Chains A and B, each alone.
Chain A
Amino acid sequence: MADLNICKAPDVLTTIGLGSCIGIALYDPVTKISGLAHIMLPDSTQIRNNSNIAKFADTGIQKLYDDMIKAGANRTKIVAKIAGGAKMFELSNAGTQGINIGEKNAIASREKLKSLGIPLIAEDTGLNFGRTVELYSETGQFLIKAVGKQEKYI
């Protein structure tokens, strides 16, 4: 949670139990340099305490992208897949900001990817359950696991 990392083939990156958070997988199919971020909140500029850049969609995705370029990934080849952003509880009036933070996270992630010119080629977001994800740097496959549900690759 609020963390990010990159790797090279044949390594696998994983993050467990994405709820309303988003897992952003970036992948360069040529160099097979891969990155995974687990962001919690959409926008660092809306938060006073924003020292952990991995916590936010805007700064987290930027850092992940920069790290991958630094490691040798080709900026024109990188593609993205995202998962998470669930609404864990159907609460309708719990405060003002808890509502559908998952959806806000998904929207912010898509926007940030777009601004970096990274194509979003697959996503599994929303609904009301947690997801564990694994990014396979050899193939770029993004495995999604959920309690009581069939595993799937996107």
Chain B
Amino acid sequence: MLENVFELSIDAESGSYLRETAKWARYFSILGFVCCAFILVMALIIPGIILRNPDFFQVQSQIQTQGMEVGLVVGSILGVAIYLYPCILLFRFSGKLLQALKTNDQSALNAAFKNLRSCYRFFGIISIIVIGIYALIFIIAMIGMAFVRR
């Protein structure tokens, strides 16, 4: 009987904790959507401000300015795309969890946990990538220092 493998349940106590978690997760995801919109708006406004600043052209050439502009916009869009994914997962998690707690819907509870799993897996992979980059920088710095000492 696969259905009865776990004898645990979401009782009144854990239900109240989960309901509060879901509310915070919803708030956090909405904050994430606001941040994404903010970053996108800034990415579209800031290059315009740079282009209108005549002092900037005295220091940088037009090609450099345009390159920076494109880099800023593309970087921001990429950043938003990466950040948007966990926000969507968290939003789905909170929605499904609240639905499960309200209607005792087992499939909604399972869907909520699956979204939470995807969200933590995403953050875990991002953490591994960041740690890998730091480790690479450290190794390159060590090799560089060894060459400088010679």
Does A pair with B?
Answer: no
Binding site for A on B (CB under 8 A): none
Binding site for B on A (CB under 8 A): none
